[in-house]
Amino acid sequence: MYRHNSIRLGFIAAVFLALFLRVGQPKAIGQTSSPGIDFFSGVDFNFRDINYETQYDLLIRLTPGFKWNMGNHWQIAGQAMIPIVNQYGEAYKGVQLNMLDVSKEFHIKNLYLKTTAGIFNQNRYGLDLKAFMPLCDWFALEGQAGWVGWLIMSPKWWFSRPNHFVWTVGGDFYIPQWNTQFRCTAGKYLYRDFGCEVEVMRHFNHTTATVYGRWNSIEGFDGGFRLIVTIPPYHRKHRAVNIRPASNWRISYTVMYNQFSNIMYRTDPEENERDGWFSRDLLQWGSHTMEPDFIITEKTKPIKPTEKTEQTEPTESTEQEQNEQNETH
Amino acid sequence: MNKMKLINTTLILLFLCLLPNIGKAQQYTGISGLIHVPSGEMNHEGDAVIGAHFLNKNMMPDVGFLYQGEKYNTFDYYVGLTPFSWLELSLVCTERIREKDEQGNIIKWSKDRYASIKIQPLKEGKYYPSLAIGCNDIWTAAFYKDQPLIQLYYMNLHVAATKHFKFSGNELGVTVAYRYYYRNYNEKWNGVVGGITFRPAFFPQGRLIAEYTGNEFLLGADMLLWQHLRLQASLKDFKYVNAGLCLQFNLLGKKYKY
């Protein structure tokens, strides 16, 4: 067991190191408007109230991850889970690779698509396709389909062939005057269950609060709320390599503790209901039409003064900030 | 007993005189109101609160919060949100004792959870009061109200009206509410309840509260420190202290005096 954990930890460290070294060479970066790699970490905080012996069972994990934006909306993303406090049991013991995948976003007219391949969270791997089609400023259709298999790393390695097809379809209503969004989805989920869900999201400055109700073919009705809070600093400088806190902190509360109801994997380490599936600079709909959470300033290399500029107005500054770009992670 | 009275009185006086920033009241349910009585007022749009409240055993329902046949002091904690100016939501957990060891230490806990909702269909006007309707424990009430074993310790429906009168910069608020508790053991709090609030001109952020819950009188006050820390303390029947504090943030980034 110790040996397996060491191998797993070494593998994760090697991936991180290789990517870090790779990005350290400027020529290797894809030629896009703002390529670069972000290293970040947040905290995954879980609690449950299912016995009388303790007030709550806690599961607190660090979530170090990276996102390598290679340009043209190609991205490689990865994330590990490092348990700090674990009262949930053996399945959450040890450092785990939570996610490692490559994705591409693009659009065909007003049909926005995102394809992803690799290791997802919820102990799954496979292929995923997300689609989003805004029909007007206040209504859009969405869908997701995946072909996945199991990939469990703790307490033992175990995997299955990708033999499970999951899907969801739904619609989104957005009321810009109230910054309020209604999301209705239905589909077949990871535990071979069918279900539907209605979620109402109220977007505030840097925070989104949602209330949801859902029905599931196995566990029946349930409901709860979610809270997504973006984490400062809200003004950032973008370099080729960036080290920052995670973009958001998300908590999801369920009344009935139906932990296997309507569960879908995530393909991005910072995926959340506030930002949706697509990048802000690609899709301008819903909460992406609000003021951006993060003001990101490009940090470029110094420009050497030419003869012409020397004659007219010498440049003394060693750094210039330009191309203000707003992004939401 | 005299010592307890002295401590209680000192706490209240200290609370009232501590700092000049006195804030808007809160209920132990995480939504706006007086102390135990609901009101027609609402928090500001975007207000989010997270807090805890010490509950004297004399404020607790007569069933559900007993250990070996005796009521006990406990506390609750809550989160609340005002997503719109006409809607408030909250989730509250009240601690219960399930088992103690021989030394009297609590070794097993449980919680009574309930969600509250409050809707204000009518805002206060020049000649008419604000009107709000609300419900505690709405989730359980919706799905399990016909099951006698399901806990509905706090389940109630209420409609409340509040009107404010201003004079010389001061503000006097009058609240009248009708409340119906679902369980019979809470019927002492049923019927017409109400209270008055006083917001002095020199403490525009604060209120003093006097209310009648249908069974007892409560006196209390609130305090807002540094725009984010809200305190409340009250005396039931001039003897029993309840007190709480919460952190308050406006998610729209607005700043209010109270």
User: Would you call A211 an interface residue with chain B, using a CB distance cutoff of 8 Å?
Assistant: yes
Per-residue pLDDT at A26 exceeds 50? no
Can you give the pLDDT at residue B79? 95
Query: For the ranges A228-232, B68-72, B147-151, which has the lowest average pLDDT?
Result: B147-151
Across B126-140, average pLDDT: 89
Nearest-angstrom CA–CA distance, B38 and B22: 20
Query: Cis before residue A233, ω within 30 degrees of 0?
Result: yes
Mean pLDDT of A80-88: 94
For residue B153, pLDDT beyond 60: yes
CB-side neighbour CA atoms (13 Å) of B105: 3
Contact (CB<8Å) B252/A204: yes
What is the model's pLDDT at position B150? 67
Give B107's contacts in chain A (Cβ within 8 Å). Answer: 53
Kindly tell me if the per-residue pLDDT of A221 is higher than 60. yes
pLDDT at B62 exceeding the cut of 50: yes
Q: Which band of pLDDT confidence, cut at 50, 70 and 90, is reported for residue A11?
A: low
Q: Is the per-residue pLDDT at B61 higher than 60?
A: yes
Q: Which residue has the higher pLDDT, A257 or A125?
A: A125
Determine contact, residues A183/A169, Cβ cutoff 8 Å: no
Whether A316 shows a pLDDT value over 90: the answer reads no
Question: Given an 8 Å threshold on Cβ–Cβ distance, is B251 in contact with A255?
Answer: no
Residue A228 predicted with pLDDT over 90: yes
Q: Quick check: A12 pLDDT over 70?
A: no
Residues of chain A positioned with their CB less than 8 A from the CB of B143: 221
The mean per-residue pLDDT over the stretch A149-166 comes to 90
Q: What's the rounded mean pLDDT across residues A226-240?
A: 92
Whether B83 sits inside 8 A of A202 (CB atoms) is: yes
What is the pairing mode between strands A294-299 and A235-238? parallel
Looking at the DSSP assignment, which residues form a beta bridge with residue A61?
A44, A83
Lowest mean pLDDT among A103-107, A130-134, B222-226: B222-226
Residue B164 pLDDT greater than 80, yes or no: yes
Instruction: Provide the pLDDT for residue B105.
Output: 86
* Minimal CA separation from A52 to chain B, in Å: 5
Q: What is the pLDDT of residue B73?
A: 93
Query: Which carries the bigger pLDDT value, residue A143 or residue A155?
Result: A143
| Per-residue pLDDT at A31 exceeds 60 | no
Token code pair at residue B198: 């006083």
Q: What is the pTM of this model?
A: 0.81
**pLDDT tier at A169 (50, 70, 90 boundaries)?**
very high
pLDDT in tens, B215-258: 999 999 987 888 888 889 999 988 999 999 999 999 998 888 77
Query: Which of A53, A178, A207 shows the shortest C-beta gap to B84?
Result: A178
- Using a CB-CB cut-off of 8 Å, the residues of chain B touching A209 are 48, 81, 83, 251
The amino acid that residue B190 corresponds to is: N
Residue A2's nearest CA partner among A93, A100, A87, A84 is A93
> In this prediction, what percent of chain A has a pLDDT beyond 90?
64
Q: What are phi and psi of A123, to 5 degrees?
A: 60, 45
ipTM of the complex: 0.82
CB contact under 8 A, A204 and B46: yes
Residues of B in contact with A225 (CB under 8 A): 89, 91
Q: What is the pLDDT of residue B83?
A: 96
Whether residues B251 and A253 touch (CB distance < 8 A) is answered with no
Q: CA A129 → CA A77, A103, A134, A186, distances in Å? A: 16, 10, 17, 16
What is the model's pLDDT at position A122? 93
Instruction: Give the residue from A255, A258, A274, A293 with the most B CB atoms within 10 Å of its CB, the best one to mutate.
Output: A255
Range with top average pLDDT, A265-269, A310-314, B133-137: A265-269
DSSP conformation letters of A261-297: SS----SSTT-BTTTBSS-TTT---GGGGS--SEEEE
Higher pLDDT, A14 or A81: A81
Is the pLDDT score of B142 beyond 90? no
**Residue A225 reports pLDDT greater than 50:** yes
For the segment B58-82, the average pLDDT, to the nearest whole number, is 91
pLDDT of residue A149 exceeding 90: yes
Query: Which stretch of A84-98, B15-29, B61-75 has the lowest confidence by average pLDDT?
Result: B15-29
Name which of B81, B109, B113 is nearest A52 (Cβ-Cβ): B109
Q: Mean pLDDT for chain A?
A: 84
Q: Higher-confidence residue: A190 or B182?
A: A190
* Chain B CB contacts of A179 below 8 Å: none
Per-residue confidence band for B106, with pLDDT thresholds at 50, 70 and 90: confident
Rounded Cα gap, residues A223 and A257, in angstroms: 9
Q: What is the pLDDT of residue A50?
A: 84
